Amino acid sequence: MPQIGTLGYFWLRYDDKLISLQPMQGKIITALHCNRGTHHQDTLIDMVWEYPRRISPATFRTHISRMRRTIMRAGFDSDMLFTTTPVGGDRNAYGIGEQVQSDGDRAISLGNIGMEALVRGEPEQAMNTLRQAAELWKPVTRQDQILAGVADLTFAVPAIKQLWEARRDALTKLAAAELHLGLDSKAAADLHRLAADWPEDREIARLQATALFSCGRLEEAADVCKSAAAKARAACMDHQVFLDLHRDILNGIVPLRHLTPALPLLGSPVQPVAQPPALCHRGTR
């Protein structure tokens, strides 16, 4: 089964064997992955090349042919990675293979499974699954590291945003599971890092205050609540939840309701970007 890398720079593996493609070939496959469906080669050229009108159909077909040869020389079937459909003249349309899975898809799937377990009241199972997701996210510490080879291309922007939000949600729920299991110091450290990435996130702030309280760091917990309440008030959002949590901290009681608010599941796999009809093209090459 072909697997591709999205949490960083592109890579391609067949049955755990790494296959080296040229950078532009990796961009073509990434474009197909981020934009599911069948796409005319002219559309793909527009997606991937900085100056698309300089790229001839023959140049594009050369990249496709070289990809196929590279995969076949490694002993694998290129049709499992991408499909080719003739559409007339010297043009083709292409699609990503149904069997292809990315590390980002896997991380989202594990995150969803872990979140479901947490909602069911199974924090140990949730933590084990969410830790597997966290291992996949480990190479990513900044948003621009996701789909790094195509981060400057328009087609990649929605996928990068979705994956970055998936990272936040999976790691936040992992911290919630840690709190449920009494791993307060670990949760506090994890939430401190998450708060640096998402300083405006209300759920992270709520969990961070709870973790700090559970560690006996009452002053820090109170400060998180005051800061979060001020940010919510400035944004004309409900800040009462942080005032209530601040009161509970001062009273020395933080009930379980502060740990796990509603947990919406993530989109899986990476959702396709709206594109022109699949086989539409300019007709001027």
- Amino acid identity of residue 256, one-letter, is L
Calpha distance 179→244 (Å, rounded): 19
pLDDT digits (tens, 9 = 90+) for 240-281: 989 988 998 888 887 654 555 444 444 555 555 444 444 444
Q: What is the pLDDT of residue 263?
A: 46
Q: Do 204 and 261 meet the contact criterion of CB atoms below 8 Å apart?
A: no
Assigned architecture for domain 102-258: Alpha Horseshoe (1.25)
Equal CATH topology for 2-99 and 102-258: no
Q: What is the pLDDT of residue 255?
A: 61
Calpha distance 220→230 (Å, rounded): 15
Q: What is the pLDDT of residue 269?
A: 54
Q: Residue 4 has which token pair?
A: 């591709």
Q: Do 22 and 148 meet the contact criterion of CB atoms below 8 Å apart?
A: no
* Regions of the chain where pLDDT drops below 50: 257, 261-266, 273-285
Q: What is the pLDDT of residue 281?
A: 44
59: Cβ–Cβ under 8 A, 6 or more apart, which residues? none
The structural domains of the chain, with segments of one domain joined by +, span 2-99, 102-258
CATH number of 2-99: 1.10.10.10
Task: Count, in order, helices (H) and strands (E) of the chain.
Answer: 10, 7
Q: What is the pLDDT of residue 253?
A: 80
Task: Supply the pTM of this predicted model.
Answer: 0.84
Bridge partners for 102 per DSSP: 4
Q: What is the pLDDT of residue 270?
A: 53
